[in-house]
């Protein structure tokens, strides 16, 4: 079943604040890339007393745009869906400037990651520099929220509306979606994106968790999903069903490749993503790796010499 991706986000006016619903405004950072699409969408929820969701990357232009958008408002909360460098780094500046507490499921876990591929792939994920010229996806290990949000917890009430945390591990272990009751909306961060599927990168990303987290959203009745990158998903249930089916089909394809004697991730990506631009093959290899870890845990795939699965392993059918 093809994923009904929403129309492309065109004619982005970086630095402007757009009213996208009665109680939601969006400011898009000028950080487009293969990971961020047109850029990080920072959401401002409410009027007067407001909550900022995913304050975004360290960019002077984005900081200035947020200052303009928040002039005359009182920031009462700053929420990060997760700790990738295009989502949370400006939270510290915003906290110091507006005196509001930060909220998230938790900080990003620390991993001792050793690059196991000669294409320098891992450095895209674990680099923590987050400088203005660094457009790679990196981890904001410095971010530690003031308030840890529990799954299902109504953690902020502002006037007659509230925000509730929905823990959705998979893309990262600490990924948090945020339910907005006044508009029956869900801010989905990078868990569900309207323009693309989501990359799942071990060790923190976990494909089994990702499957479970998509199914978790299927049990909800949200009327609209607001991803941090791209346009909203206004018909969530068919979209979520297609998203999950795509992952299930991809896992079946990975298993089929192993059973056909294709034992390395590099070769699998070349076959399974032959119609995808090669600049996206590194990201694809991460999700294939996550699928293989799950298949290994399920007892369907083995690893040569009985070693633990790595990106350089040779995989065998069981």
Residue 4 lies in a domain: no
**pLDDT band at residue 36 using 50, 70 and 90 as cut-offs:** confident
Rounded to whole angstroms, how far apart are CA atoms 110 and 140?
10
Are 235 and 275 contained in the same domain? Answer: no
81, 80, 54, 53: which is closest to 176 by C-alpha? 81
Residue 278, CB-side half-sphere exposure with 13 Å CA sphere: 4
Are 44 and 115 contained in the same domain? Answer: yes
Residue 6 lies in a domain: no
Contact 65, 40 (CB under 8 A): no
Residue 176: the pLDDT is: 98
24-28/41-45 β-pairing:
antiparallel
Q: 171-208 pLDDT, tens per residue?
A: 999 999 999 999 999 999 999 998 889 999 999 999 99
Residue 309: the pLDDT is: 95
The percent of residues in the chain predicted with pLDDT above 90, rounded, is 76
Residue 103 lies in a domain: yes
166, 173, 168: which is closest to 150 by C-alpha? 166
Residue 12 lies in a domain: no
Instruction: Indicate the Cα dihedral angle 133, 137, 142, 144, nearest 10°.
Output: 130
Q: How far is CA 102 from CA 19, 40, 172, 265, in A?
A: 23, 18, 18, 39
Residues spanned by the domain of 272: 247-317
Residue 7 lies in a domain: no
Sheet holding 17-21, edge to edge: 17-21, 24-28, 41-45, 49-53, 74-79, 102-104, 147-148
**pLDDT band at residue 112 using 50, 70 and 90 as cut-offs:** low
Q: Please calculate the CA angle 103-97-80 and round it to the nearest 5 degrees.
A: 20
Rounded to whole angstroms, how far apart are CA atoms 8 and 257?
32
Last residue within a domain, chosen from 245, 261, 286 = 245
Are 129 and 22 contained in the same domain? Answer: yes
Q: 12-22 pLDDT, tens per residue?
A: 899 999 999 99
Q: Where are the alpha helices (DSSP H) in the chain?
A: 60-69, 90-98, 123-126, 207-218, 236-259, 265-272, 281-297
Are 70 and 136 contained in the same domain? Answer: yes
Mean pLDDT, rounded, of the chain:
90
For 314, phi then psi, to 5°, come to -100, 125
Residue 82 lies in a domain: yes
Are 77 and 196 contained in the same domain? Answer: yes
Last residue within a domain, chosen from 245, 265, 299 = 245
Q: 53-99 pLDDT, tens per residue?
A: 999 999 999 999 999 999 999 999 999 999 999 999 999 999 999 99
Rounded to whole angstroms, how far apart are CA atoms 225 and 185?
6
**pLDDT band at residue 9 using 50, 70 and 90 as cut-offs:** confident
Are 223 and 313 contained in the same domain? Answer: no
Overall domain count for the chain: 2
Residue 101: the pLDDT is: 98
Are 21 and 166 contained in the same domain? Answer: yes
Q: Domain with 291 in it: what CATH number? A: 1.10.10
Contact 230, 40 (CB under 8 A): no
The answer on pLDDT for 1 being more than 80 is no
Last residue within a domain, chosen from 213, 245, 277 = 245
Instruction: State the pTM of this model.
Output: 0.91
Q: Domain with 235 in it: what CATH number? A: 3.60.15.10
């Amino acid at each position: 079943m093809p994923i009904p991706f929403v129309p492309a986000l065109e004619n982005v006016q970086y630095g402007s604040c757009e009213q996208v619903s009665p109680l939601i405004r969006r400011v898009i950072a000028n950080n487009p890339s293969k990971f961020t699409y047109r850029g990080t969408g920072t959401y401002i929820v409410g009027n007067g007393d407001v909550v900022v969701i995913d304050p975004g990357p360290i960019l002077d232009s984005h900081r200035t745009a947020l200052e303009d958008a928040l002039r005359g408002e009182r920031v009462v909360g700053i929420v990060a869906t997760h700790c990738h460098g295009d989502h949370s780094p400006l939270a510290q500046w915003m906290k110091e400037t507006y005196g509001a507490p930060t909220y998230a499921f938790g900080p990003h876990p620390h991993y001792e990651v050793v690059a196991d591929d000669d294409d320098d792939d891992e450095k895209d994920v674990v680099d923590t520099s987050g400088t203005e010229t660094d457009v790679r996806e990196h981890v904001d290990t410095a971010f530690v929220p003031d308030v840890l949000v529990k799954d299902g917890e109504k953690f902020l009430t502002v006037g007659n509306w509230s925000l509730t945390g929905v823990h959705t591990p998979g893309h990262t272990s600490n990924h948090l979606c945020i339910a907005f009751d006044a508009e029956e909306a869900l801010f989905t961060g990078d868990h569900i994106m309207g323009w693309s599927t989501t990359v799942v990168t071990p060790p923190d990303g976990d494909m089994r968790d990702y499957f479970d987290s998509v199914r978790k959203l299927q049990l909800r009745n949200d009327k609209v999903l607001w991803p941090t990158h791209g346009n909203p998903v206004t018909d969530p249930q068919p979209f979520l069903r297609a998203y999950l089916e795509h992952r299930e089909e991809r896992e079946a394809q990975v298993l089929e490749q192993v059973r056909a004697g294709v034992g390395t991730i590099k070769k699998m990506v070349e076959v399974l993503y032959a119609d995808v631009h090669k600049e996206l093959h590194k990201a694809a290899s991460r999700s294939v790796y996550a699928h293989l870890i799950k298949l290994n845990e399920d007892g369907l795939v083995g690893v040569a010499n009985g070693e633990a699965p790595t990106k350089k392993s040779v995989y065998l059918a069981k």
